[in-house]
Structure 1
Amino acid sequence: MTLRSELVLGGAALALAAGALGYGLARWSQMDAPPSTTETGRKILYWYDPMVPSQHFDKPGKSPFMDMALVPKYAGEGEDQPGMAIDPARTQSLGLRVAEVRMGSLSSSITATGTIDFNERDVAIVQARAAGFVTQVYGHAPGDMIAAGAPLAAILVPEWAGAQAEYLAVRRIGDAALTRAARQRLTLLGMPAGTIASVNRTGRAQTVVTVSTPVGGTIKALGVRAGMTVAAGQTLAEVNGFGSVWLNAAVPENVAGKVRLGQAASATLAAYPGERFTGRIAAILPSVAADSRTLTVRIELANHGGRLHPGMFASVDLGGSDHQALLVPSEAVIRTGTRTLVMLALPGGRYQPAEVRTGVEAGEQTEILAGLAHGEKVVASGQFLLDSEASLSGVKARPIAAASASAPTAQPLGAYTTRGRIDSIAADRITFSHEPVPALQWPAMTMTFHLASPGQAHGFKIGDQARFSFDQTAQGPTIRTMAREARR
């Protein structure tokens, strides 16, 4: 190799080394350089994939997780405001609809379905009072409707003949004590009072007795036939009264806690359109049906004219008075399985999930027991998309305890005052039948208030008249002060 060739090769090697060194220095300076700024002067902290917001990158480019560009995260973005911001144009395309949290009247009635059944408390068991032979039956069969006192069978009782003859002989002697003893023996042998009276009146033995039903109704079982032998105490028939029936209503498990013994109920049947049958809850059965998750509530209905027949299907309304409650549209509630959320619509086009505790649902409205305050706004349509985006962006839900502090307009303690009669008192709540509250446009009604402290109702009792003040909180109307008043 010539000297000239060696010089050319050495120069090339030096050039390559210089280029590599320059690239390394440039790369090192890029790695150590602070995040860049945009033309508007906003400092970029890092880039991230909106679908994987926890992973940060130091420069723009394509996401390694999704086929999309990385998004810059600016300094101070969202740090001073809760929730997340959504572009107004995007909210319009999502079709978001916002509803205000408000106080309103909520019906506490429960609707259920049920079937008519026999009243098993109105059952008569007809038995033979003495051993004998069936000499006659009266053509009845199971399922027949019979009146009270209707004959079922005639029974010949041979052993009565000797006892009755003895009684008649003692009576002729005229000894009052012996006569009473002989008559007592007839009773102990199972002889009906009517048969004894007939023997005493006619002076002849009566060995055939007619067995009749003590109640009217339907024959559920009949075990007597002509010519058969019966023993003392043998069941001849079972008769179910038909003056009243049971309506067994299947109440869903989630509202079963609101039914009470003696509660009024009404039913409608397809057989009698436009007619309503009323009664009261006579029993609440102890077990829940595993397949339907319903509790059986037994309602006793009068059966005038025998119009209600076992097996008939009925729609049942378990009546309850309306009460005031904090309400949101039911479609605004998001149930995840572990908690219940709503999506708050905050000022400035921001949105934040909030935990809530719900109560009764009726008429497409859901009662909010805790987590929201009167006047706040929630998303009633499109909230599931916002909730998904909030989860991806790492936006935390507002806890229930923070709801009161976020109320848009805080009312002073005891902002509303009225008077009423105490209907019930519990550990943390009290029910008043109170006068109107003009400031809230409430009419006179019966409703339940929360107590600000457990001992607030100490010394008060049901029936007391009281003047009280309350305010609206995330938990609902809460009593602040109470003072007993003389009855008017």
Structure 2
Amino acid sequence: MNRSRHKAALLCCASLVLGGGAGYWLARQPHAAATAELTNATSTERKPLYWYDPMYPQQKFDGPGKSPFMDMQLVPRYAEDTGNDSAVHIDPGLAQNLGMRLATVTRGVLASQLDVSGTLTLNERDVAIVQARASGFVERVYAHAPGDVVTANAPLADILIPEWAAAQEEFLALKRSGDAGLLAAAHQRLRLTGMPPALIAELERSDQVRPVLTLSSPIGGVLQELNVRTGMTVATGQTLARINGLDSVWLAVAVPEAEAGSIAPGQKVDVRLPAYPEKVLHGTISAILPEADPGSRTLRVRVELPNPDGQLSAGLTARVSIVRSTPQPVLWLPSDSIIRTGRRALVMLVEDAGHYRPQEVQVGHDDNGKTTIVAGLSEGQRVVASGQFLLDSEASLRGMLARPLDVPAPSATSPALHETEGRIIEIGAGSITLAHGPFSTLGMPGMTMTFPLATTELTQGFQAGDSVRFAVSSTDTGLRVERLEKMEGQP
């Protein structure tokens, strides 16, 4: 019995040993496969060409590490990423999947429309003033009040003028005497007292004294002032009423100062009033007032509109469309293709083989989805009109700088130079260390850097501590000093 138990124990131990060995062998197989796969992946891993700081991609480094410019690690750049360092490359198939649309810079005369607001006012040229011709007393005021609309020759008030009564009695007495000379003198006196010719003619015809003058409105319009009351005394030349005609009205239009250069007298205007939505009034700009509103920064423009039916009332608001056209052909693009950063405007310029480059532009006015281009592009060039923000973000991540307006494109025979001033820290064999100011054309701040020299002869006659003005160019290995000269006053 003991012998059988011992044999069973031996068999059990052997099984455990064999099972453990088999398990260990099986466990080693995935590890070996993974090790082989990792080895193969390591052997085919891409090797960087160089490392760079995305904030200052002009400077290139031979190995990884921390950027000397910013508190960040350098980023590797591989061979397949260096096809065009100044442009973003997008595969044509991917560009189609992104729905990328292109637009062509076009030259032509733009007929545009400026939509602004305006307010109707009374025509200040069509105004009549009623004054007292002589001193007297108000006997009667007709049923009118300021704001009423009156017709031409509508009576306003009756004024008793005592001086006229005596002059008229004298005139009638001389008329009966038959003395022509004295009669002419009396007639002249009537005129000098302020009697209107119509009243003198009535006196000669009826031979009846008429010392009461009925003031009437010389024109039809709105009665803006009526300064008479029954029983009051009036003096010669006193203003008693003011009437504003309604045959035409003025439309005061507020034009933003940025659009002031695109409007001129004589331009056609379409006017729509919320009070009469079914009507479209047509007019022309009659005057551009020489003073802008300092509060709203708008230019005041006057449009005169006919008002034959008297429906146009002062104070009504209007939507105004000013039809304008450029006298000369201009360059323009769809407004959607412009990237506005707040300080400047950019476009993504299309280059060959699916490459896109940011380009700074100077824009003019916008209208109806079109923006005029003042500088930065030429006729026939193509830009991205849809999806340009993705390309701009990619260019920013790669540290690409938009080509400024005042910097021409570099040619194949003459690379672009970037100038600044600095002080020599150290001169080495084929290199120079400079504490320099910012490169405005590169968007690069001032710092201390070591630059390779285009030729070693550039440093002849220079020493550490000299203040210099120098120029660098962008090469495959970074920035290189192409020109070096002493500042004025240096020995």
TM-score range, shorter chain: 0.5 to 0.7
State how 1:323-334 maps to structure 2 within 5 Å: 325-334=330-339
Distance in structure 1 (CA, Å) of the matches to 2:293 and 2:339 = 28
State how 1:299-338 maps to structure 2 within 5 Å: 299-321=303-325, 325-338=330-343
Q: 1:165: Cα distance to partner?
A: 1.4
Tell me the equivalent position of 2:202: 198
Q: 1:284: Cα distance to partner?
A: 1.1
Aligned CA distance change for structure 1 residues 98 and 199 (closer, same or farther; 3 Å): same
Tell me the equivalent position of 1:272: 276
Contact 1:43-1:75 within 8 A present in 2 as well:
no
Paired letter, 2:255: V
Are positions 1:176 and 2:167 aligned together?
no
Match of 1:106 among 110, 122, 142: 110
Match of 2:364 among 340, 353, 359: 359
Contact 1:354-1:398 within 8 A present in 2 as well:
yes
Match of 2:146 among 117, 142, 154: 142
Tell me the equivalent position of 1:244: 248
Paired letter, 2:399: S
Match of 1:85 among 85, 88, 99: 88
Q: Which runs of 5+ in 2 are unaligned?
A: 1-42, 413-491
Paired letter, 1:267: V
| Secondary structure class of the residue paired with 2:138 | strand
Paired letter, 2:401: V
Distance in structure 2 (CA, Å) of the matches to 1:384 and 1:122 = 56
321-330 or 265-274: which moved more?
321-330
Measured against aligned partners, the alpha-carbon deviations of 1:61-93 in whole angstroms (never above 9, x if no partner) come to 576957766213769946xx5722335388679
Aligned CA distance change for structure 1 residues 329 and 264 (closer, same or farther; 3 Å): closer
Q: 1:305: Cα distance to partner?
A: 1.1
Distance in structure 1 (CA, Å) of the matches to 2:88 and 2:267 = 50
Contact 2:375-2:405 within 8 A present in 1 as well:
no
Measured against aligned partners, the alpha-carbon deviations of 1:123-143 in whole angstroms (never above 9, x if no partner) come to 111111111010011110010
Aligned CA distance change for structure 1 residues 103 and 355 (closer, same or farther; 3 Å): same
Are positions 1:126 and 2:130 aligned together?
yes
Q: 1:203: Cα distance to partner?
A: 1.6
Q: What percentage of residue pairs aligned between the two structures are identical?
A: 49
State how 1:42-61 maps to structure 2 within 5 Å: 44=49, 46-53=50-57, 56-61=60-65
Distance in structure 2 (CA, Å) of the matches to 1:91 and 1:63 = 33
Match of 1:397 among 384, 392, 403: 403
Contact 1:266-1:279 within 8 A present in 2 as well:
yes
Q: 1:263: Cα distance to partner?
A: 2.4
Tell me the equivalent position of 1:30: none
Contact 1:62-1:70 within 8 A present in 2 as well:
no
Distance in structure 2 (CA, Å) of the matches to 1:389 and 1:75 = 16
Contact 2:152-2:218 within 8 A present in 1 as well:
yes
Contact 1:355-1:400 within 8 A present in 2 as well:
no
State how 1:301-450 maps to structure 2 within 5 Å: 301-321=305-325, 325-387=330-392, 389-390=394-395, 393-397=399-403, 399=405, 402=408
Distance in structure 2 (CA, Å) of the matches to 1:396 and 1:327 = 20
Q: TM-score, normalised by structure 2?
A: 0.66
Are positions 1:298 and 2:302 aligned together?
yes
| Secondary structure class of the residue paired with 1:320 | strand
Distance in structure 1 (CA, Å) of the matches to 2:390 and 2:293 = 37
Aligned CA distance change for structure 1 residues 67 and 400 (closer, same or farther; 3 Å): closer
Distance in structure 2 (CA, Å) of the matches to 1:199 and 1:107 = 65
- Which structure would you say has the larger Rg? 2
Distance in structure 2 (CA, Å) of the matches to 1:93 and 1:55 = 35
Q: 1:380: Cα distance to partner?
A: 2.2
Distance in structure 2 (CA, Å) of the matches to 1:131 and 1:112 = 51
Measured against aligned partners, the alpha-carbon deviations of 1:223-272 in whole angstroms (never above 9, x if no partner) come to 10111111111111111101110111111222221222232222111222
Distance in structure 1 (CA, Å) of the matches to 2:315 and 2:386 = 43
Contact 2:114-2:367 within 8 A present in 1 as well:
no
Aligned CA distance change for structure 1 residues 401 and 85 (closer, same or farther; 3 Å): closer
Distance in structure 2 (CA, Å) of the matches to 1:107 and 1:68 = 53
| Secondary structure class of the residue paired with 2:112 | coil
Distance in structure 2 (CA, Å) of the matches to 1:124 and 1:82 = 76
Number of aligned residues: 366
Measured against aligned partners, the alpha-carbon deviations of 1:307-356 in whole angstroms (never above 9, x if no partner) come to 11111111112223577543311122234455433220211232222233
Paired letter, 1:120: E
Aligned CA distance change for structure 1 residues 342 and 306 (closer, same or farther; 3 Å): same
**RMSD of aligned residue pairs (Cα, Å):** 3.3
Aligned CA distance change for structure 1 residues 293 and 269 (closer, same or farther; 3 Å): same
Distance in structure 1 (CA, Å) of the matches to 2:282 and 2:95 = 51
Distance in structure 1 (CA, Å) of the matches to 2:216 and 2:337 = 65
